[in-house]
Amino acid sequence: MKTNATDMPDQNTALALKAARKKREARSRIYKHIFLLLVSVIMLYPLAWLFAASLKPENEIFNSIGLWPSEFKWDNYTEGWNALPLSFTVFYKNSTIVTLLSVIGNLLSCSFAAYAFARLRFTGKNLFFGLMMMTLMIPYHVVLIPQYVLFLKLGWVDTYLPLIVPRFLASDAFFIFLMVQFFRQLPRELDEAAMIDGCSPYKIFWVIILPLSLPAMGTAAIFSLIWVWEDFLAPLIYLNDIQSYTVPLALRLFLDQEGQSAYGQMFAMSVLSLVPVIIFFAAFQKLIVRGIATSGMK
């Protein structure tokens, strides 16, 4: 701390004040930690309870706040996996297909659009950018019915096309926005130098912009992966055949059919459905946090 030249107080008083302040700060820091730890426990408790319940025998699940099962019922997992007419292997395979293709579609189409908005000059750019930002606000429910009619006429209901094709058409403006923010930070001199060397805008995109944007791509990939994995409304509408169910639909079926009789198994399958999300979060926490801070969403 700097002291003002105008009022040089007695050295001892200054030191004493400083020490008192340090002490006060240390104490308030401890209170803060206690409080934050308490909040953390409250935040994590439901998840911990879910995991514990997935290992408990049926009669221990309710009326107990304890987390430790009297015996570990790993059977909940194996039996739950096969409790529905089809095994969860099918649903995980379906979810994986839909998720992977959707992520690829999102990354490609949104990075194309973002590159155009961030780096290229063309007539109508501001208008289109404004329209793109407006689509951020439009709830999916508003376009749902005409989209459904369209996909029904195309014969796409009960296929994965209504889930995947929109993602190849940059339908999630959030990712465009995220990438525009990132592309704008890259030094313009790079493009200009390449342009002078005779590089086409297409080559600049693949050779300069994309390789430099791996962090942004990573953030977009993780978010899109998690959101598609958890997506419920679109699969609910477009997938009627249990053969093609994704994991969230299977969980809902579990709730409707077995939920009242096999809580342990249902919780076990719920835990499994969260595992990929938690793993990705743990592995890519930095990218996720930075992505939210720069784009400010979700």
Partner 1 sequence: MKRFLRRNAAGYVFLTPWFLGFFLLALGPILASLYLSFTRYDMIGAPRWDGLGNYEYMFTRDRRFWKALTVTFSYVALAVPARLIMALGVAMLLDKGLRSISFYRAIFYLPSLLGASIAIAILWRQLFELDGVVNDVLALFGIQGAAWISNPDTSLYTLVVLAMWQFGSPMLIFLAGLRGIPKDLYEAAEIDGTSKRRQFFRITMPLLAPVIFFNLVLQTIEAFKTFSSAFIISDGTGAPADSLLFYTVFLFNEAFKFFRMGYASALAWVLLLIIGFFTAITFLTSKYWVHYENERD
Whole-angstrom Cα distance, residue 1 to residue 204?
A: 50
Q: Which CB atom, from 130 or from 187, has the smaller least distance to partner 1?
A: 130
Tokens of 248: 């969230």
Give 93 or 286: the residue with its C-beta nearer to partner 1.
286
CA dist 234 and 102 (Å) reads 13
Closest CA to 68 of 79, 57, 78, 81: 57
Q: Ramachandran region of residue 241, left (φ > 0), alpha (ψ -120 to 50) or beta?
A: beta
Q: Tell me how far, at minimum, the Cβ of 261 lies from partner 1, in Å.
A: 14
Nearest distance, CB of residue 94 and partner 1, angstroms:
15
Q: Kindly tell me which of 97 and 128 has the beta carbon lying closer to partner 1.
A: 128
**Euclidean distance between CA atoms 21 and 26, whole angstroms:** 9
- Closest approach of partner 1 to the CB of residue 182, in Å: 15
| CB 87, min distance to partner 1, A | 18
Q: Cβ–Cβ contacts within 10 Å for residue 90, how many?
A: 16
**Interatomic CA distance for residues 247 and 80, integer angstroms:** 13
How far apart CA 153 and CA 141 sit, in angstroms, is: 19
Is there a contact between 249 and 236 (Cβ–Cβ < 8 Å)?
A: yes
Choose between 28 and 87: whose C-beta lies nearer to partner 1: 28
Q: Which is nearer to partner 1, 74 or 206 (CB)?
A: 206
- Separation between Cα atoms, residue 24 and residue 31, nearest integer Å: 11
For residue 29, the minimal CB distance to partner 1 (Å) is 7
Using a 10 angstrom Cβ sphere, with 0-12 exposed, 13-18 middle and 19 or more buried, the burial of residue 26 is exposed
State how far the Cα of 93 lies from the Cα of 116, in Å rounded to an integer.
Answer: 35
| Inter-axis angle of helices 214-230 and 88-119, nearest 10 | 140
Residue closer to partner 1, measured from CB, 124 or 187: 124
Supply the minimum distance, in Å, between the C-beta of residue 187 and partner 1.
19
DSSP string, 235-284: HHHH--SGGG--HHHHHHHHHHHTTTT-HHHHHHHHHHHHHHHHHHHHHT
Residue 114 Cβ, how far from partner 1 at the closest point, in Å?
A: 9
Smallest distance from partner 1 to CB 84, Å: 14
